Structure 1
Amino acid sequence: MSLDMATTAQTLLSVRELTVTAEAEGGRKTILDGISFDLAPRQILSVIGESGSGKTVLARALASWLSAPLRISGGEILFQGRDLITDKAHARSLSGREIAYVGGNPAGALDPTMTVGAQLVEKLRAVRPDISGEAAKKKAIRLLEAVKIPSAERRFHEYPFQYSGGMMQRAMIVDALISDPALLIADNITQPLDVTVAAQILKLMRELNEDFSTAILFICSSLPVACDAADEVMVLHAGRVVERQVPKDLVAQPEHGYTRGLIAELPTLWAGGEQGRDLRQNRDRQAIMSVRAVAKHYETKGKSGRALVKAVRNVEFDVFPGDNFGIVGESGCGKSSLMRLLTGLERPDAGSIFFEGENVGEASPKRLRALRRRFQLVLQDPYGSLPPQSAIGSILEEPLRIHGIGSRRERRERARTAMSEVGLHDSLYDSLPTGLSAGQRQRLNVARAMVLEPRLLIMDETLSALDQTEQGKLLDLFERLQAQHGFTYIFISHDLTMVRRVCSRIAVMYLGETVEVAPNERLFFDPGHPYTRALLSAAPTLEERRYRPEDCLLEGEPPSPIDLPPGCAFAGRCPHAFERCRRENPALTSRGEQALAACFLNANTASKESSHE
């Protein structure tokens, strides 16, 4: 029996013909159009759809958080039999208590001036004034332990900035669950997370669903994640429900054309054959960028005085002309710190970075500015990386003005050409970027970078804020631009499906080090490091997995980059570690065919293969 056919007694939430509209200059626009579904206690229902489908509007309507110009113009939201639309006072009394909400931006959700524990206690005592401070503290610590935050009692007294991204998301789940809600609305909570952390959050969510009997509405932009997370998947398109099925049936026999399109455009990890070009030519080519033994440390204050954060340690790789070189790893592995070194925003403490034969780390400010005409950076945030008060044409002309390129007319023509190449209409030239979608903003960022005709583009999590459909469109754009202009790309990402599709070679970072560098096919079908296998086991996919999460998936957090353990930094989380791993740190060792891995398990293989090269 479908869970939609549950009896009234079994139904916690019943949404009937919910319609949400927005008042705009051109008249009223319908955002949600006649949404209907039921949700039972202890059920997890995923809602999937591209940007603009109405997912977040639905989440906020259920949480009674809609604000102008949005308004509910029809339908019912029955929670435990009472309509939250007509009984607004009752709806407000439930928000944060019986109905809890967790969003996808944990970093901005807590007060940075208060400890995490103090904020959890404050939330609980606001909801239940009868509970004592000591009882509230014990409950908060118990829940921190339940969401698998290590050393929960100590972490209770720490501030938000001391938590990693994954730990912050767990803390926000505690913040939502501390009032014992009947319904948890999780709005894109895994999208900004690394694959291993996201997999842990999904596993945790199912455990909490069973332990606390909480119904969960899981809003998501990734179809594989939606299927992994839920008992049923509801597909939203243009504000309407077009399909609802159990995940297995949805994938095997999708009923709606939109769902079939979502499945068809999914990038794959192991299907589709070899990716990228023949790499044997790299042996006779000069690298466009060479990274040699690069390290970067940051000084910080701790309880015991000053300490060094070892953000980047002994990183080495080459990027060849025409390459699409990927850099992957969890949050905190050093990817963004490395990006700042590659682009000359910071100088390494040790080692060298050569771009077309010039040492970026030793270049004078004047010379570095000249070099930046030939390499450009495109950042992750499509909203914060653009000046909101500057017209789109002015944003594109600015790099040309800075470098003294062309006359005013020539700069304008070059900017318009860049807009056309990335798919932005010429009519937007004098408009502000505030009206652009996230995908359009990233197209503008790409146009701003390529207007200088660089040799190398560095993409730092450029697609992570976009949904699956927009990511596919941008990847098609990158392929077209590379064929047209001959760019070389460095893709810094935690999205393995993206690097599988576009990258010819990939470096894997863990706690500041490169632990593996390999051609695309070798990395995905024959990884040389246990950490790489863990990443692959956690990657969301509808394919049959080559690496099982139960064999490879990591638990807990990486060691602190301030207090690194002796030996291999991965040994404490590695299922194959032995005594030598805890004493010595393995160096990158050849596995043959341009593949390297920093793991003692490869020592015998490397020595055999090196004699044949």
Structure 2
Amino acid sequence: MANPPVLSVRDLAVELRTESGTRSILSDISFDLEPRQIMGIIGASGSGKTVLSRALVNWIDPPLAIASGSVIYKSQNILELPPGQLRPLRKEIAYVGANPMGALDPTLPVGAQIVEKIRAVVPGMDKAEAQRRVIELLGAVRIPSPAQRFHEYPSQFSGGMMQRALIVDALATNPAFLVADNVTQPLDVTVAAQVMRLMRELTERFDTAVVFVSSSLPTVSEAADQVLVLADGRIVERQTPAKLIREPQHPYTVQLISEIPQIWTAAAPVVESPERSGTPLISIEDATRTYRVRKRSSFAGYNNVRAVRNVTFDVYPGENFGIVGESGCGKSSLMRLLSRLESPDTGRVVCDGQDIAKLSGAELLKFRRDFQLVLQDPFNSLPPRTSIGAIIEGPLKVHGVNSAAKRRERALAVMHEVGLSAALYDELPLGLSAGQRQRVNVARAMVLEPKVLIMDETLSSLDQTEQFKLLKLFSQLQAKHGLTYIFISHDMAMVRRVCNRIAVMYLGEVVEIADNGKLFFDPGHPYTKALLSAIPTLEKRRYRPEDCLLEGEPPSPIDLPPGCSFASRCPKAFGRCHAESPVLTVDGKEGMAACFLLESAGGRIAA
């Protein structure tokens, strides 16, 4: 006799109820989640994925409301259970959302918060046992130095590490089923690949069934047993991943598949570099940045975290320059140096011939006008109680545009340019989608007519459809205004689509710089191959994960080993790698890589 489903959803409908009326968000949702099954749910932004994921754990709040249907767990409709009866089930029902930075209390250490959660749902577990469990799971999701990270605060975690910490928070009580809502979207490709393997391991080792919600079919296809396609709040197709990819039945599914970025096929983009002659627009020269972090076990002792180490490269006018690497590799620290939010400890950053660390007064204000940032989080980067027009006009006030009429005129012009309706000028950002919010962020940066836009994971929280629209917008803005872009990202598919040249970072160092075509088809560093092998794709992979994907965790940036920092994880490391540190070496006319293997016969790394 077959085991009963872990979860049965029947005729579920959710409505948005406001003073202006009622609108359907979800309707006629029915499916069964079988034991040890991974059920993938895909759809574009606005299809209802997040509302469905929250409805499955009875976290629907006004103005949303359950209109009809049931979610049956252990013969009980959890949508009808009062809080007192639902609370004991919370240790068996886990949820991980897509907004990692806003999920934990910023005033308490990450590990302590997870321990508190475990002990609340498993009262018999003592504090020491809970701490051991959390540290073990932090290591399992590849957070470096988990025993030390346990005591750090959310502000000390990168976005990728925060997402992994929330996965630990969900897994700590060995739940019967887990709802994972876009959990891999903010993660770098190698960690996302490991999380997908972890999902499969959960189903096999702990009998945990998983509802995996994502906008990426390639990601879902790697682990899911069944896939539901959601469009306009309805299930339009249900198939195994292989059949869905091979024989999509619904036009919406066909459209989703057509929007998946191509990496290596003939349809992949050809991204050529502009002419690199004359003076670079930006030069970073042998820059380092080290942070002092107090030792928890010492009254007055400190650890030195080496976040950026001896980074050197040039960016030329009109380029789309990419900076990629795993979470915690130093990308965002490097961004802070490039934008003069911080200054390097040694070395310098030169823009238009000036060392930006020495700028002050009017010169610094001009630099701020020319170099603008567009950050990662579309939900927390906009003040919720300020109108969209006032948000966009803010930089104009700072830079001395005192006429309210001129500020409004300029704000409306840039809103039109980035695809925002003028009707939104007096509206609050509350009702905007993630894509619209990022357009507001782009408008706020563009209102000053900058030379350079630094995009720090700007598209990481958006689905493929929204990414495609914004990348088209960026191309139009570049053609019109002659912009230079620096894309800081873990999304290798996006970088493949848009960047001319790419720098690969590992543990604070640049280990490879190459033109787009060379990096993706003929990488010079084993770490780059590992990143490429982990890209979610429906294509035949050029680099196989079983040959390239990394195991273990990076060394701690507090206690770096001698020699090449990648040697402990490199499948091709030899004696010299553990004793000497390689430097960037010319790898053909289109790239440089820091690897001793380039000096071997033929100067190339074996495939």
TM-score, normalized by length of structure 1? Answer: 0.91
Determine whether 1:565 maps to 2:561.
yes
The equivalent of 2:375 in structure 1 is 379
The equivalent of 2:425 in structure 1 is 429
Equivalent residue for 1:360, pick from 356, 373, 378: 356
The separation in 1 between residues aligned to 2:426 and 2:128, in whole angstroms, is: 59
The equivalent of 2:287 in structure 1 is 294
Q: Deviations over 1:387-445 (max 9, x none)?
A: 33332222222323332348543332222111111001111122222232211111111
The equivalent of 2:312 in structure 1 is 316
Contact 2:112 2:151 in 1 (8 A): no
Cα distance change of structure 1 residues 249 and 175 upon mapping to structure 2, 3 Å threshold: same
The equivalent of 1:522 in structure 2 is 518
Report the Cα offset of residue 83 of structure 1: 2.4
Contact 1:382 1:441 in 2 (8 A): yes
Q: Deviations over 1:175-230 (max 9, x none)?
A: 33343332111122212111111111111111111011111111112221111121
The equivalent of 1:502 in structure 2 is 498
Contact 2:144 2:555 in 1 (8 A): no
The separation in 2 between residues aligned to 1:388 and 1:29, in whole angstroms, is: 23
Count of aligned pairs between the two proteins: 599
The equivalent of 2:448 in structure 1 is 452
The equivalent of 1:215 in structure 2 is 209
Report the Cα offset of residue 275 of structure 1: 2.3
Cα distance change of structure 1 residues 536 and 148 upon mapping to structure 2, 3 Å threshold: closer
The equivalent of 2:486 in structure 1 is 490
Cα distance change of structure 1 residues 23 and 362 upon mapping to structure 2, 3 Å threshold: same
Secondary structure of the structure 1 residue equivalent to 2:581: coil
Q: Give ranges in structure 2 of 5+ residues lacking alignment.
A: none
The equivalent of 2:188 in structure 1 is 194
The separation in 2 between residues aligned to 1:13 and 1:393, in whole angstroms, is: 46
Cα distance change of structure 1 residues 455 and 180 upon mapping to structure 2, 3 Å threshold: closer
Cα distance change of structure 1 residues 437 and 139 upon mapping to structure 2, 3 Å threshold: closer
The separation in 1 between residues aligned to 2:162 and 2:509, in whole angstroms, is: 24
The separation in 2 between residues aligned to 1:142 and 1:385, in whole angstroms, is: 33
The one-letter code of the counterpart of 2:346 is: A
Report the Cα offset of residue 561 of structure 1: 1.3
Determine whether 1:47 maps to 2:41.
yes
TM-score, normalized by length of structure 2? Answer: 0.92
The separation in 2 between residues aligned to 1:458 and 1:155, in whole angstroms, is: 31
Cα distance change of structure 1 residues 164 and 577 upon mapping to structure 2, 3 Å threshold: farther
After superposition, where does 1:113-512 map in structure 2 within 5 Å? 119-120=113-114, 122-130=116-124, 154=147, 158-159=151-152, 161=154, 169-271=163-265, 272-273=267-268, 275-278=270-273, 281-282=275-276, 284-302=277-295, 303=297, 305-405=301-401, 407-512=403-508
Report the Cα offset of residue 365 of structure 1: 3.6
Secondary structure of the structure 1 residue equivalent to 2:221: helix
Q: Deviations over 1:466-505 (max 9, x none)?
A: 1221111101111111112211111111111111101010
After superposition, where does 1:35-114 map in structure 2 within 5 Å? 35-88=29-82, 92-93=86-87, 95-110=89-104
The one-letter code of the counterpart of 1:104 is: A
Secondary structure of the structure 2 residue equivalent to 1:270: coil
The separation in 1 between residues aligned to 2:438 and 2:121, in whole angstroms, is: 41
Superposed CA RMSD in Å reads 2.6
Q: Give ranges in structure 1 of 5+ residues lacking alignment.
A: 1-6, 609-613
Contact 2:160 2:186 in 1 (8 A): no
The separation in 2 between residues aligned to 1:239 and 1:328, in whole angstroms, is: 35
Cα distance change of structure 1 residues 379 and 107 upon mapping to structure 2, 3 Å threshold: closer
The equivalent of 1:4 in structure 2 is none
Identity of aligned residues (%): 59
The separation in 2 between residues aligned to 1:290 and 1:365, in whole angstroms, is: 22
Contact 2:273 2:319 in 1 (8 A): no
The one-letter code of the counterpart of 2:452 is: L
The separation in 1 between residues aligned to 2:72 and 2:21, in whole angstroms, is: 29
Q: Deviations over 1:262-284 (max 9, x none)?
A: 111111211235622255x31x3
Cα distance change of structure 1 residues 287 and 141 upon mapping to structure 2, 3 Å threshold: closer
Contact 2:375 2:458 in 1 (8 A): yes
Contact 2:145 2:556 in 1 (8 A): no
Report the Cα offset of residue 363 of structure 1: 1.5
The one-letter code of the counterpart of 1:299 is: R
Q: Deviations over 1:559-611 (max 9, x none)?
A: 12121111111111111111111111111111122301011111247879xxx
Determine whether 1:555 maps to 2:551.
yes
Cα distance change of structure 1 residues 85 and 433 upon mapping to structure 2, 3 Å threshold: closer
The separation in 2 between residues aligned to 1:292 and 1:270, in whole angstroms, is: 33
Contact 1:100 1:185 in 2 (8 A): yes
Contact 1:150 1:556 in 2 (8 A): no
Secondary structure of the structure 1 residue equivalent to 2:198: helix
